[in-house]
Chain A
Amino acid sequence: MNSDPAEKFSQDDALLRVRGLCKAYARRGNWAWSHSRVESLRGVDLEIPAGESLALIGASGSGKSSLARCLACLEKPDCGEIWFAGRKLALEDVSANPRGRPKIQMVFQDPGLSLNPRLTATEIVTEPLLITGWGAGADRAERAAELLKLVGLGADAGGRLPSQFSGGQRRRLSIARALAAEPILLILDEALAGLDLATQAQIANLLLDLQAERGLTYLWILHDLRLVARLASRVAVMDEGRIVETAPTAQLLRDPQSPPGRLLKESILTTPLWIS
């Protein structure tokens, strides 16, 4: 990590800067005539300073996941620029050259879908190392064990399959895999959704600890504003493929300026409906 150029650029400059990002999907199946384009991102501008926790909120279908995928270089945006750690990402070759990829990783929404059910925990965590050609076999195994321990999975976890873990443990596994690629920016796409409160709290704690330990920058994608309040320092509200409002969390929760922001605030289950 020390030799990475990302370390060298100054703190006042944003770690990630996005300008005018747009992306449209062609929807098609077997049916040639049913081509249609769904504009998912319509010019997104965004900046994340290093070490910050930014939460991206918005109704479903507002383009959050699409933005996350473009930022994690999983998809190629149609237009716009992404600057990361002072370097402009060439959008054409995001999938080529594993070693030269930017250190942006993503933790997926549903680990049930993002962990291959046929691979053991060790295999899953080793995957990024294997792909980037990191170390020898034994080194990788050792590193995998370290990572599993880091996210709080027991010593016996390595040989188990995803289906043999609980929901919370799968989240941990997912985080361990993302960490294996030594990211600077971690995109957490609904990483806490679908968990019991207790587990949610545990995972959130884990992520907060990791951030504190390693100086990671987080881009949270969340739908529960109660979590936003606790986890993010700044919030960006997305609506219909654009970012319509960015503000410090407290300010936004107190007094959202944009209509989508207001709508989101209203939906928070604060006042018990019944007890009153």
Chain B
Amino acid sequence: MKLKFALLGLALIHVLVLGAGFLAPYDPAEQNRDFPFAPPMALHLVDTQGHFHLRPFAYAQIYHPESSAAVPYEIDRSRMIPVHFFVKLAAEGGMGQSGEWRLFGVAPPHRLFLLGTDDFGRDQFSRLLYGGRVSLFAGLLATALSLALGLVLGGLAGFYASLPDHLIMGASELFMALPWIYLLFAVRAFLPLHLGAQESFFLLVGLIGLTGWARPSRLVRGVVLSARHRDYVLAARGFGASDFYLLRRHILPEALGVLLTQAALLIPQYILAEVTLSFLGLGVSEPAPSWGNMLADMQKLYVLESYWWMFAAGVALIPVFLLYHLLADALQQSP
């Protein structure tokens, strides 16, 4: 029940971000330089005269660049912008793929900013959807990488005890103590100048994932140490099972519960790790959005004080974290 709910919720969120190419009205990199930090536009069905419209609409916003107000926009109630469904993306600049179908949009030159815009006038709603792709999957993949490493190394350490155990556990302590920031600098130094969006994504995943194996490996080791002496392991040995067979078939699956709990804790951590990585210039590079670099924007006083809608990525993270939390909880209960 709980499990289904969590899985369904997560699936829904992932489908949403995967469908960014259709659900988002704009290209995430499209700049509207005449609308920096525009506030979110509300959708209406009823106009000022009280007339009901079947087609939702928004009111135009007028930008007053000379105004000293925190949000120098004024809502123009005389100009209604109707929302159209199933529209083709207009060609813009060199980056927007013109002719793509989008779920909704408004007729140019009007713009519809459901969640406002950032400092370049980029549509936050579109960026949120596109950015979710990067962040959610980076978190997921990096966690998978960490856990896989942790599983293998922790499994070996726990199973063979003595020398491998000492070596691997020593290494894990080393890994926990090392200043990651440095390794990251060093890694960046070796990288080629050009990293496409995909390469930098995998780099991000790899870096985050590689740094996190120590904790799970220690936990796995603990589980394996106790699982090693279980009767069914002994029984399989009685049939002449090899070490590899025992590990694969009996011992490592035992660690699954621990790993899932770890996953629920690591995924949020990893999604946010990108905030730090962006600070070092190792995050997803502009103009591609990610929830990490969207939140990094929020860490500036003037944004925090004036533009609350910039926190959209943070709000989006809450249900994601909750659902992972719930998932781990549910999985823990049904071993």
Contacts and interface: CB of A to CB of B under 8 A. Distances in A.
Give yes or no for direct A-B contact (beta carbon below 8 Å). yes
B332 to A, nearest CB: 15
Contact of A116 (B232, B240, B242, B245): B232
Interface residue range, chain B = 10 to 19
Identify which of A99, A109, A177 gathers the most chain B CB atoms within 10 Å of its CB: A177
Listed residue (B235, B239, B245, B335) with the most chain A CB atoms within 10 angstroms of its CB: B235
A98 B239 contact: yes
Contacts of A119: 249
Contacts of B84: none
Given A117-B335, A118-B253, A131 B234 contact: no
Contacts of B286: none
B235 A131 contact: no
Given A117-B335, A118-B253, A128 B237 contact: no
B9 to A, nearest CB: 26
Nearest to A98: B240
Contacts of B231: 108-110, 113-114
Contacts of B91: none
Contacts of A132: 239-240
A181 B240 CA distance: 10
B250 interface: yes
A181 B335 CA distance: 29
Contacts of B241: 98, 127, 131
B195 interface: no
B157 to A, nearest CB: 14
B94 interface: no
B236 interface: yes
A235 B242 CA distance: 35
B166 interface: no
Contact of A95 (B230, B240, B253, B335): B240
Given A108-B231, A114-B231, A115-B232, A74 B240 contact: no
Nearest to B251: A116
Interface string B219-237: 0000000000011101111
Interface in A84-137: 95-99, 101, 105-106, 108-110, 113-119, 127-128, 131-132
B237 A74 contact: yes
B179 interface: no
A118 B232 CA distance: 11
Contacts of A253: none
A57 interface: no
Contacts of A109: 231
B233 to A, nearest CB: 8
B79 to A, nearest CB: 64
A131 B232 contact: no
A106 B335 contact: no
| Ranked 5 nearest A-B pairs via Cβ | A98-B240, A114-B231, A128-B239, A113-B231, A116-B232
13 contacts: A72-B238, A73-B238, A96-B240, A98-B241, A101-B239, A108-B231, A113-B230, A114-B230, A114-B232, A114-B234, A118-B253, A131-B236, A132-B239
